[in-house]
Structure 1
Amino acid sequence: MRPTLLAITLTALLAGCSDGQAPAASQATAPAASDAAADAIFAALSKEALDTWMRLSPVSATQIGDHRYDDQLDDLSAEGRQRRIDANKALLAKLDALDASRLSRANQVDAAILHNQLQADLWTAEVLQDWAWDPQIYGGLAGSAIYGLMAREFAPLPDRIRAATARMEKLPALFAQARANLDPARVPKIHAETVAKQNAGILSIVETFITPHLGELPAADAARTRAAIDGLQQAVAGQQAWLDKTLVPNAKGDFRIGTDKYDQKLKFALSSSLSRAEIKQRAEAEMQRVRGQMYGIARTVLAGKAGAPPLPEQPTEAQRQVAIEAALELAYADHPARDKVVDAAKASLQAATGFVREKKLVTLPDAPVDVILMPEFQRGVAVAYCDSPGPLDKGLKTFYAISPIPDDWSQAQADSFLREYNGRMIHLLSIHEGIPGHYLEGGHSAKYPSVLRGVLRSGLFAEGWAVYTERMMQEQGYLGGDPLFQLVQLKFYLRTIANALLDQGVHVDGWSREQAMRLMTHDAFQQESEAAGKWVRAQLTSAQLPTYFVGAQEHFDLRKAMQDKLGDRFDLKAYHDQVLSYGAPPVRYVRELMLDEPIR
């Protein structure tokens, strides 16, 4: 997944452009007859949207690879927010005036994506109003403002430090905007506490990427940067005092966004035909199916072992639970040392890459990927993420980031973490975040000629693809068909299912921590530390956790539809390459393009 805090700053602010080109030649569906004039109007409108949004959101522009505004910072004051709203409304009016049926099929998809994003941006600003209650927006933006400039070598180091210096000089104003905008009565305590823990992380970015290189700068530049660092240190200290003494003690908001807001946010986030009720029904059915499959594997791996629990053909629920837990213990015994998790991730990424290449499952990208420790300012929400370069930054590294075990964790906490992230689970994590998951998918999507789809890369497509590849790799015999790997893969899939149930359980059904923890630790077999972290994440986010399950279901359904259509002519590698050739729009549009259905 992409880092959650980065996603917060990106999704509400971005639009893009399309050059009107049709899908790549490998795609079987030819575009329908279209009006070249309408396509030209849409291309111009998309270009206008891109220029407008990049100017209004310089930090997101840097992430995307548009470096015209690298020395600028987003304005989240009331005036700045109104400028975004006015721009969105003007763009939406122009888009609504265009007859989408006259566009090429490729541009019909882009127009639908752009329309959804513009509506989501307006709804977020005017109805959800997260700027008034979510301090993660400001903390994430502050960290991303510097990290996005320094993490990748898109320009000479002195140029990037000069840009970072200009942003550091503006960050005190961003902190002031946070203090002015955030209403403690609306801020949930979990949000305030999380940001209070992350706030100092921005200084670690400066210490890691900027301070060691001050001697390489001209004297005048170095002096300005030192002054900016001093000013930032004072601003961070002041913000920390406000967080600790004002925001955290007075935070009284409800982290649950409620049914109406949840349903609307889910609709924007998923672009799926599945409703909340349908998602719940399908997830509950999958939960039971997968647990039954896991019991079958447990009977195989435990058969004849001393001390094995009863393994009847028709077990009670209690017998099923005990057997699966006993089988999983065999996998938990094989885990890396406390300080070797990143090394294990590197090794598993290499193994997965070799398997994909050997089996010829999908075309591999040629862009580099680094396994790194997760930056401090992004920790506390997810264990790992894949951070791809922006669609306009070509040939730069992708980061597969792993959160280290905190130094202050007890040995019991670390052991719980390592049981969850055992050796086989780390293989799955590298499949999901790396190859053939997010890293590979991101490398393919960056090649699609529509910048719109690169900028508005669908989280549903990306997360669904990553989950799909976990099952696909197991089906293809990864790790020699090891039954314990299949068992752990199914457990990882149970996490995906639980995510969907947890999200609406928390934000709509009012679940308590105890209800959430039972779902995760009992039904989905998660370790206490993993489930506790997910409970925090479910409070901090909404409508993102279901993207894994819904996206995976749509990818599974799409492959079956293509297998039914092609029969003996179905080729897995060709299928994967075709799916990835469309630039990661919501899966429903990939299906409509591949099956030659109307674009809805």
Structure 2
Amino acid sequence: MPVTIRRPALVAGILCCFLAAGLRAAPPAPGAVPADWVDRVEAAPDMDTLGRLYLELLLEEDPGNAATFGVHGRGDDSAYYDRKLADPSRAAEQAFISARDSLIARLQAFDAGGLSRPEQIDRHILLNQVKLDRLVIDRLESGTNPLNAVTSLGGAMAGLVLRDYAPLEERLRSFGSRCEATPRFFAAVRTRLAPDAVLPTGPEKAVTRQRLEGMQQPGGLYDKTLPDLLESSALKPAERQAIESACAAAVESIGNFAEWFEATIVPRTDSDWRLGRDLYDEKYALQMDYPLDAENLLAVALGWLAVKGDELVAIGRELHDDYLAESIAAGEIQPQASLDDAEVVRNVFAKLSKDRPSPESLIPDSYALADSIIGFVREQDLMDLPPASKLRIEPTPPHLAGNAVAQITTAPPFEPELESVWFWDIGLLSESPGFLKEYNRPALAMVYIHEGVPGHFVQLEYSNRADRLIPKVFWNGPMVEGWASYIATQLVEQGFTVYPDHPLGHALQRMVDTKLTLRAVINAIIDIRLHRTHWPEEEAVKLMTEKGFQEEGEARGKLLRAKLSSVQLATYFAGQVAIEDILREYRERAGSNFSWKAFNQRLVGAGSPPFFAIREFMLGDLVEEDDPQ
């Protein structure tokens, strides 16, 4: 299922205790490269130290991610990062690029052969990550993407109130400080976007406008959440008034920026959102860190498209006439023998779609599925589970809206005791009458499995327990998304269904799971084809609606997501393929000693490294000839 996980690449070293901090007379300065950072990089004795240094650098680069990743202070200042916003200026960007270059040089200077195997893997992960971040900043020009700036600000403000990681009063003081910094932040963003040569893509403009509007909406973060929190706090009236005043100015600056953006940036010619073959392949290699290149993954996906398409039709024909017996008897539809494959599948899904949530019931319906799913995992002894009470489900906040139907922000790696929060984009689902038809009750259960138990929430709870810092913080996308896709299918293969008392209940659940597997396959195909070639957009929509049996709204939403991102949509399928390959070999070696619980818990117990490391960890062998180092 669609999910956007915010990669925990912006964390700094050690948590410190929280101390009260009042508003300063002037907005705090944005982060900068620490003066001694290069010297500390040169003196670093091992990979763990270099990883921590990079995390510190990243948090200086965008302090707005402090709460998301569980690090709030530096030195004796417990709210150092919580009070700051990013510096969007070109000068700051150049300084951070230079800092990355020094780290790349240091990592490349290490004698990889003299490192332990875990350090070799850590070096490989960190070097790839730094190169990827550099490519995104320099080659993809992320600093002139207005959507990045607006999302950064929204995340910075929402992160302070998303979880109760510190006393409310301290978090509200930080909120006020970030409000003070907001007008200066937008002034710097204007400077970056002002040159005529800056041409955001059409999708970037559209979603930026949507998120700016959301940040100012009645009942939102500034309009309701902040006043309610201030009212319930123990802050003195003078402090409350200072925060209210600073945040009123922040909201005004958001509105002013939105007007300027509408008048100045929106009318400009749209740039091309397609990366092109060479740039896509370069990004793919770094971000995926995967055994197959894009061309070969596409070939595998096309094979799966045919196989899974046939499976979907076969299940549909198997249950069509019994499931739709009343409609057939009434002459409303024909028996399956008289229908083509597409009609059979669509008839089944049309009836299934009647058992679906409304936008208003989506979140409570998601919670309602939890007990049966958790009970099934325990009954089948598939793995030990963390408390589901650590998972909250909420509407997507405005700064993340408009991109993915569902996404999760997991417990921070440096504050693993905190909650994970799964978001449903109610607005996105409501904008098209047919969108929610995709989320019938069996599909809703698959989303809960994918996002929550035992998908992302469970995997990243395990990942947070891993011993080594680098693989548990710098997640590999195919591993994370692949796990959630793989485990959802595993539950269905073991017999899970939301209709346990229906004679066709398991067949219906299999049909939904097969459709969702097809969706992951198609995700990879459209991402690779759209960005590497001039494949027409309407061909992508046609593939999703005709071969994937997706509703028009779902397909259009996915097309927008493909235009806004690159490579990430390929991670679901790539990860599931890699895990299933490892599973086959693992089962052969384990023989009669094979245990789903042992396999699953081992798989998620090593953090979230790339698959060459996962394969070694799971199978215990080294591939010396082509080991990435």
Out of 154, 176, 188, the residue aligned to residue 165 of structure 2 is 154
Distance in structure 1 (CA, Å) of the matches to 2:470 and 2:2: 18
Out of 164, 172, 181, the residue aligned to residue 170 of structure 1 is 181
Counterpart position of 1:350: 371
Counterpart position of 2:315: 297
Counterpart position of 1:50: 55
Identify the range of structure 1 (456-465 vs 359-368) with the bigger mean alpha-carbon deviation: 359-368
Q: Please give the secondary structure, in 2, of the residue aligned with 1:48.
A: helix
Q: Map 1:256-405 onto structure 2 (within 5 A).
A: 256-303=274-321, 305=325, 306=328, 309=334, 311=336, 319-366=340-387, 368-405=390-427
Please say if 1:517 is aligned against 2:541.
yes
Distance in structure 2 (CA, Å) of the matches to 1:338 and 1:200: 21
Distance in structure 2 (CA, Å) of the matches to 1:355 and 1:365: 15
Q: Map 1:497-536 onto structure 2 (within 5 A).
A: 497-536=521-560
1:119 shift after superposition: 1.0
What CA RMSD, in Å, does the superposition of the two structures yield over aligned residues?
2.3
> Match for 2:108: what amino acid?
D
Distance in structure 2 (CA, Å) of the matches to 1:252 and 1:101: 48
Q: Please give the secondary structure, in 1, of the residue aligned with 2:139.
A: helix
Distance in structure 2 (CA, Å) of the matches to 1:90 and 1:311: 65
1:377 shift after superposition: 2.3
> Match for 1:365: what amino acid?
P
Distance 1:443 1:79, change over 3 A: same
1:418 shift after superposition: 2.4
Please say if 1:126 is aligned against 2:138.
yes
Counterpart position of 1:209: 225
Counterpart position of 2:205: 192
Distance 1:432 1:101, change over 3 A: same
Distance 1:39 1:60, change over 3 A: same
1:311 shift after superposition: 4.3
Counterpart position of 2:102: 90
Q: What are the superposed Cα offsets for residues 27-68 of structure 1, whole Å, 9 maximum, x if unpaired? A: xxxxxxxxxxx9953333233323333233312333211111
Please say if 1:66 is aligned against 2:71.
yes
**Does the 8 A contact of 1:39 with 1:107 survive in 2?**
no
Q: Please give the secondary structure, in 1, of the residue aligned with 2:356.
A: coil
Counterpart position of 2:37: none
Q: Please give the secondary structure, in 2, of the residue aligned with 1:293.
A: helix
Distance in structure 1 (CA, Å) of the matches to 2:222 and 2:564: 26
> Match for 1:330: what amino acid?
K
1:186 shift after superposition: 2.4
Q: Please give the secondary structure, in 2, of the residue aligned with 1:582.
A: coil
Q: What are the superposed Cα offsets for residues 533-590 of structure 1, whole Å, 9 maximum, x if unpaired? A: 1111111111110011111111111111111121111111011010111011122311
Distance in structure 2 (CA, Å) of the matches to 1:408 and 1:476: 33
Q: What are the superposed Cα offsets for residues 340-368 of structure 1, whole Å, 9 maximum, x if unpaired? A: 11111111233211211221111101361
Counterpart position of 1:31: none
Identify the range of structure 1 (122-131 vs 556-565) with the bigger mean alpha-carbon deviation: 122-131
Counterpart position of 1:433: 451
Distance in structure 2 (CA, Å) of the matches to 1:55 and 1:233: 24
1:102 shift after superposition: 2.5
Identify the range of structure 1 (588-597 vs 522-531) with the bigger mean alpha-carbon deviation: 588-597
Q: Please give the secondary structure, in 1, of the residue aligned with 2:103.
A: helix
> Match for 1:424: what amino acid?
P
Distance in structure 2 (CA, Å) of the matches to 1:41 and 1:323: 60
Identical aligned pairs, as a percentage? 29
Distance in structure 2 (CA, Å) of the matches to 1:388 and 1:97: 35
Counterpart position of 1:578: 602
Counterpart position of 2:38: none
> Match for 1:539: what amino acid?
K
Distance 1:252 1:418, change over 3 A: closer
Counterpart position of 1:80: 92
5+ residue gaps, structure 1, are 19-37
**Does the 8 A contact of 2:405 with 2:429 survive in 1?**
no
Please say if 1:454 is aligned against 2:472.
yes
5+ residue gaps, structure 2, are 15-42, 74-80
Please say if 1:227 is aligned against 2:245.
yes
Q: Please give the secondary structure, in 1, of the residue aligned with 2:606.
A: coil
Distance 1:568 1:347, change over 3 A: same
Distance in structure 1 (CA, Å) of the matches to 2:44 and 2:92: 31
**Does the 8 A contact of 1:445 with 1:581 survive in 2?**
yes
1:75 shift after superposition: 1.2
1:174 shift after superposition: 2.1
Distance in structure 1 (CA, Å) of the matches to 2:169 and 2:44: 41
**Does the 8 A contact of 1:15 with 1:114 survive in 2?**
no
Q: Please give the secondary structure, in 2, of the residue aligned with 1:140.
A: helix
> Match for 1:59: what amino acid?
G
Distance in structure 2 (CA, Å) of the matches to 1:584 and 1:42: 17
**Does the 8 A contact of 2:520 with 2:572 survive in 1?**
yes
Distance 1:334 1:194, change over 3 A: same
Distance in structure 2 (CA, Å) of the matches to 1:348 and 1:476: 17
Distance in structure 2 (CA, Å) of the matches to 1:365 and 1:252: 46
Counterpart position of 2:46: 41
Distance 1:454 1:408, change over 3 A: closer
Distance in structure 2 (CA, Å) of the matches to 1:75 and 1:108: 34
Q: What are the superposed Cα offsets for residues 104-147 of structure 1, whole Å, 9 maximum, x if unpaired? A: 32222211110101111222222221222x21110110101111
Q: What are the superposed Cα offsets for residues 220-258 of structure 1, whole Å, 9 maximum, x if unpaired? A: 321220111111111011111022222112142111121
Distance in structure 2 (CA, Å) of the matches to 1:219 and 1:89: 48
Q: Please give the secondary structure, in 2, of the residue aligned with 1:181.
A: helix
Distance in structure 2 (CA, Å) of the matches to 1:251 and 1:236: 23
How many residues align? The count is 568
**Does the 8 A contact of 1:113 with 1:585 survive in 2?**
yes
Distance in structure 2 (CA, Å) of the matches to 1:224 and 1:382: 36
**Does the 8 A contact of 1:64 with 1:455 survive in 2?**
no
Q: What are the superposed Cα offsets for residues 407-450 of structure 1, whole Å, 9 maximum, x if unpaired? A: 974xxx33x12211111110111011011101111111011122
Please say if 1:597 is aligned against 2:615.
no
> Match for 1:104: what amino acid?
S
**Does the 8 A contact of 1:3 with 1:378 survive in 2?**
no
> Match for 1:329: what amino acid?
A
Q: What are the superposed Cα offsets for residues 497-517 of structure 1, whole Å, 9 maximum, x if unpaired? A: 110011122212223232111
Distance in structure 1 (CA, Å) of the matches to 2:307 and 2:117: 38
Distance in structure 2 (CA, Å) of the matches to 1:40 and 1:78: 32
Distance in structure 1 (CA, Å) of the matches to 2:386 and 2:162: 21
> Match for 1:110: what amino acid?
D
Identify the range of structure 1 (70-79 vs 589-598) with the bigger mean alpha-carbon deviation: 589-598
Counterpart position of 2:513: 489
Q: Please give the secondary structure, in 1, of the residue aligned with 2:392.
A: strand
Identify the range of structure 1 (536-545 vs 38-47) with the bigger mean alpha-carbon deviation: 38-47
Distance 1:329 1:408, change over 3 A: closer
**Does the 8 A contact of 1:554 with 1:588 survive in 2?**
no
1:523 shift after superposition: 0.6
Distance in structure 1 (CA, Å) of the matches to 2:123 and 2:13: 10
